Amino acid sequence: MYNFTFHRPTTVRQAAGLLSRNPEAKLLAGGHSLLPVMKLRLAQPSALIDLSQVEGIVGVELKGRSISIGAMTRHADVANSPVLKEAMPGLAAVPGSIGDPQVRNRGTIGGSIANNDPNADYPAACLGLGATIITNKRRIAADDFFTGMFSTALEEGEIIVRISFPIAKKAGYEKFKHPASGFALVGVFASKRGSDIRVAVTGAGSNGVFRVPTFEEALKKRFSPKSLEGLTIPAAGMNSDIHATPEYRAHLVGVLARRAVAKAVG
């Protein structure tokens, strides 16, 4: 790991100021993606801005018909949040499936979303629930936020502060875990909130998380795994690596979507 300068702001404003003065800086949240990448010298930031001491960006709250999660909330704290488990257990199950217990004790929702790893779980939950990503500058709909593999709509100097999830009556996540890494080889988040039906897929697409309009249409008639029977998506555009072929990933999208809907209807 190349060396860097290290900063520990206590407010979002200070953090934003540090970012603007250090154009090559990176924000450090849980550090469980960034530090490994720096060890491999795939990233060489000139400065790290540690967000762990920043006030007001931690915690899970019920706000009207939404769940608001502070960007620095650790995976374990989201998974164990009584408020969230009561309001939307389908979302609480997502961070519980990330990595291992030690990773969940450190990793954060804001870090996961900002990194937008193509195999990460939270992007599927955000897109699959129509979440809003709230930064120090604006509110960004999940549909506009994830712009491709490791790429987001975040601009220079922009910091995720909270993520707001509308509470869906029916919500479920199902993933096919890579046995070694725990990452989603494919993961599908399905939800129904009134007439808003969403199916979001992580791990499979060669350009990151995406929605499946054909599945969503089919589920509009009846939100049941049966509505998806026989439906598949084309292998074109699916990711290919030593772990799975595009055809296999496309197959898993169908299987996991049915299971996610089954979970959502409980």
Partner 1 sequence: MPAVSMTVNGKAVSGNVEERTLLVQFLREQLRLTGTHVGCDTSQCGACVIHLDGVSAKSCTLLALQCEGANITTIEGVALSDGKLHPMQEAFREHHGLQCGYCTPGMIMAALDIVRRNGNDLDEHTIREQLDGNICRCTGYHNIVKAIAAGAKNMKGAAA
Q: Which residues bind partner 1 (CB under 8 A)?
A: 1-6, 8, 28, 31-32, 35-36, 38-39, 48, 50, 52, 76, 99-103, 105-106, 182
CA 17 from centre of chain? 26
The encoded tokens of residue 36 equal: 């490994």
**Least spacing, CB of residue 164 vs partner 1, in Å:** 26
**Least spacing, CB of residue 77 vs partner 1, in Å:** 10
Q: Find out whether 125 and 173 touch, Cβ atoms under 8 Å.
A: yes
Q: Measured from the CB atom, is 39 or 137 closer to partner 1?
A: 39
**Least spacing, CB of residue 181 vs partner 1, in Å:** 8
Q: Measured from the CB atom, is 76 or 171 closer to partner 1?
A: 76
**Least spacing, CB of residue 211 vs partner 1, in Å:** 30
Q: Measured from the CB atom, is 55 or 100 closer to partner 1?
A: 100
**Least spacing, CB of residue 154 vs partner 1, in Å:** 22
**Least spacing, CB of residue 133 vs partner 1, in Å:** 24
Q: Measured from the CB atom, is 32 or 170 closer to partner 1?
A: 32
Q: Measured from the CB atom, is 52 or 227 closer to partner 1?
A: 52
From the CB of residue 259, how many other CB atoms can be counted at a distance below 10 Å? 19
d(CA 244, CA 253): 12
Q: Measured from the CB atom, is 79 or 142 closer to partner 1?
A: 79
DSSP track, the chain: ----EEE--SSHHHHHHHHHH-TTEEEESS-TTHHHHHHTTS---SEEEE-TT-TT---EEEETTEEEEETT-BHHHHHT-HHHHHH-HHHHTTGGGSS-HHHHHH-BHHHHHHHT-TT-SHHHHHHHHT-EEEESS-EEEHHHHEEETTEESPPTT--EEEEEEEPPSEEEEEEEE-TTT--EEEEEEEEEETTEEEEEEESSBTTS-EE-HHHHHHHHH--SGGGGTT----STTB--BTTB-HHHHHHHHHHHHHHHHHHHH-
Q: Measured from the CB atom, is 6 or 169 closer to partner 1?
A: 6
**Least spacing, CB of residue 210 vs partner 1, in Å:** 28
